[in-house]
Amino acid sequence: MFRSLLIANRGEIACRVMRTARAMGIRTIAVYSDADRDSLHVAMADAAYRIGEAAPRASYLRIEAILDAARASGAEAIHPGYGFLSENAAFAEACVQAGIVFVGPPAAAIRAMGDKASSKALMQQAGVPVVPGYHGEEQDPALLAREAAVIGFPLLIKASAGGGGKGMRVVRGADEFAAALAGAQGEAASSFGDARVLLERYLEKPRHIEIQVFADTHGRCVSLFERDCSVQRRHQKVLEEAPAPGIAPTMRAAMGEAAIAAARAVGYVGAGTVEFIAEDGAFFFMEMNTRLQVEHPVTEGVTGLDLVEWQLRVACGQDLPQAPAAPRGHAIEARLYAEDPASNYLPSVGRIRHLRLPRGVRVETGVRAGDAVTPDYDPMIAKLIATGEDRAAALRQLEAALAATEVVGVRTNAALLLGTLRHPKFRAGGVDTGFLARHPELLADSGEAPHDAVLAAALAVLAETAEDASPWSARDGWLLNLPAARRLALRHAGTEIAIDAAPECDAWRVAFAGKEHIVRGTLGDGTVTVATDGRRQRMGVFREGARIAILRDGRCHDFELANLLAAPETAGEAGGHIASPIPGRVARVLVTEGDAVARGAPVVVVEAMKMELTLTADRDGTITHIRCAAGEMVAEGVELVEIAD
C-alpha cells in the first residue's frame, strides 16, 4: 500500500477520501484554489498546496499544477474524486508518466467511455442494449436536424463528452430543435471543452437505474447491485437509493451481467458505474461513469463495504475482496443543495451563517458554518444517507434527518426533499425521472411567512428582552403613561409585519394581521417553543443582530427586526432592468441595442455553477442599453440590459 495520497478535488468528496485514507494509515495531501484556502478539506489534510485562482480552469482543472503539488509533497498516488479531472484520460496518462499511481481506470477505458457516441457503438458490439439514436461524428446542424426528424420527437440532445446533466436538452418538436441544439452545444463546450452532441429517442417515463461495478488488475469484475436515481432536477440526481424499489431479481441479474460486459469491453479497472434507463421491463445503456459516483454511500450502506478502500487496494494491485451475494437492508441518500427550487433551481450563493446537520444518519459534507457558497463550484452543501432494515425504515430515518437540518444564509432544497419523501407516489416506490416535473406543488413557496413562524420570531425577540423590562432601555417608541405594550415590526420578504404584544400573566397577547393570539413559550439553545391556539411547536431559531431566522421542516423563514424610529425607505422604480440573479460569467448576449423584444424573450445567458441561466425580458419593449459583453464576469444584482416600454 502506498504511504501518501493526494486528492485532486475539493469539498465533501475530498473529505470523504481523506477519512478512509487516514484510517488506512495513509498520509493525505490536499490541493486548493484561492476560494478554498480556509475550507474544510484543507483543514483535514496532513498537507495542502495552492494550485491557482478560484475558477476551476485556473486551479482544479490544471493538470500540471496538480502534478507539481504531487511532486512537491512526495505523493505516491492521486485520487481524482469525481468531477473536475476524474474522467480526463490525459490526466490519468500524465499521472502514470510522472510515476504516480492514478486511483482510477486506465486512460484507454476513460477515453472509450468518455465519448458517449463511440461508447454506444462499442456497447452494441458487446451485446449491451442501447437507446436508438444518432451517435455519429458529423455535427453539422442541418445534418443533426435531419437525423432528429428520423429519430422522431420527443428526443434528447446530450453532450458527447460529459455528464451530470450539462449540455442536455429535451426537444419535443422540430421547431424547438435549433435553439435547443445551440444551447446544448454552448453548455457542453463550456463544461467539457467539447461541443459535440448525440441524439437519442426520449423515453417519456423512464427510471434511471445504475449498476456499481468493480474490477481489479487480475481480470475479476463484479457487480455490487443497483441504485435507483430517478428523482432528478435539471437531469441531475437529488435522491438515490439502493436497492431499486420493485426491481425483479431476474432484471437485477440481467442488468448486472450487462454492466460487467460493458466494463470488460473497455478493459476496466477500479470503481465504475454503468447507467441504464429502464421502462416497461426493458433497459438501455446510457453511459458509464469511469469514477466513483456521488451516490456511492448508498451502495456502501447495503453492502457493508468501503468503496474508497477498495479503490485504493485495487490501485495497489491487490485482488478484489469478496463481494456480498445480495444487498442487505435499504439505503437512501438526499443531496442538500444551496438552491431555490421555486425559482427554477437557481443556485443560491452567499455565506452560510448557521449550519446544523443532523445526527443519527451518515453525513458527508465539505462545508462549515461561516463558509461561502460561491458561483465557481457545485452548490451541494451535504449528503445525508440513511439506512434501515427495509425501505420504510430508511425513509423514516432520512425524513427525520432532513426535518432537523438547519441552514441560514443561503436557500436550500431541504423542503423539496422532505416533500418528495412524504409524497405517496414516492413512498410507493418506482417513480420515474419526470416525477418532480409532474409535481410542481413540491416546488411551491408562497413567500409568505406562516403565522406560527411569525409568532416564533416575535417570541424570540420578546423573550430575549424580557429580562431587561426597563422602558428606558427600549428602542421601540415606548411612551410614558400608555399601556405596558410592545410594538414590533418584522420585515419578511420585503413585507413589513406590524405586531402588537402585551404581557399577560405568564404569556403574551400578540396581535397581527387582524388576529389576536395568547402565546406562551420558551427560548432554548437554538430553539424556540411556541404554545398558542391549542398547539405547541418547537422550531429552530438563529439570531444575529436584527436578523432572526426561524427554521422548521427544511424551510428557513428570515425576518429582520425593523427600527420603528427610522425614516421610511423610498422604493425605487422597478422593471425594465434585467440584472444577473447570481455572480457568474456572461455566456451569450442574444440581443442588440434597438431590438424590439416581447415579454419572456431570452436576452442574456449567464453561466454559473456549471449551468447556464437564460434571463428573459420582463416586458414588451425596446432594448435601450446593453451593459455587458460575452465572457465578462458579473456580480449578483448587476444590471445587464435595459428595456424601455
Where in the sequence numbering do the catalytic residues fall? 291
Are residues 516 and 526 in contact, defined by beta-carbon separation less than 8 angstroms? no
Q: Which stretches of 58-173 are DSSP H helices?
A: 63-73, 89-97, 107-114, 116-125, 141-151
> How far, in Å, CA of 413 to CA of 424, rounded?
19
Q: How far is C-alpha 47 from the chain's CA centre?
A: 28
Q: Could you tell me which residues come within 8 angstroms of residue 164 by beta carbon, excluding any fewer than 6 positions away? A: 83, 191, 235, 236, 610
Beta-carbon contacts of 479 under 8 Å, excluding residues fewer than 6 positions away, are none
Cell numbers at 572, concatenated: 425605487
Give the Cα separation of 131 and 276 in Å (integer): 10
CA 455 to chain CA mean position, Å: 32
Place of cell 416525477: 435
Which grid cell is 427? 413512498
Residues 6+ apart with CB under 8 A from 248: none
- Distance separating the N- and C-terminal Cα atoms of the chain: 69
What is the DSSP annotation of 284-302?
A: EEEEEE-S--TTHHHHHHH
Residue pair 607/628 in contact (Cβ under 8 Å)? The answer is no
Q: Identify the DSSP state of 130.
A: B
Beta strands 4-7 and 27-33 are parallel
Q: 598 and 617 in contact (C-beta within 8 Å)? A: yes
Burial grade of 280 (CB within 10 A; 0-12, 13-18, 19 or more): exposed
- Judge residue 286's burial from the number of C-beta atoms within 10 Å of its C-beta, 0-12 exposed, 13-18 middle, 19 or more buried: buried
Total Cβ atoms within 10 A of residue 62: 20
Rounded Cα gap, residues 598 and 617, in angstroms: 7
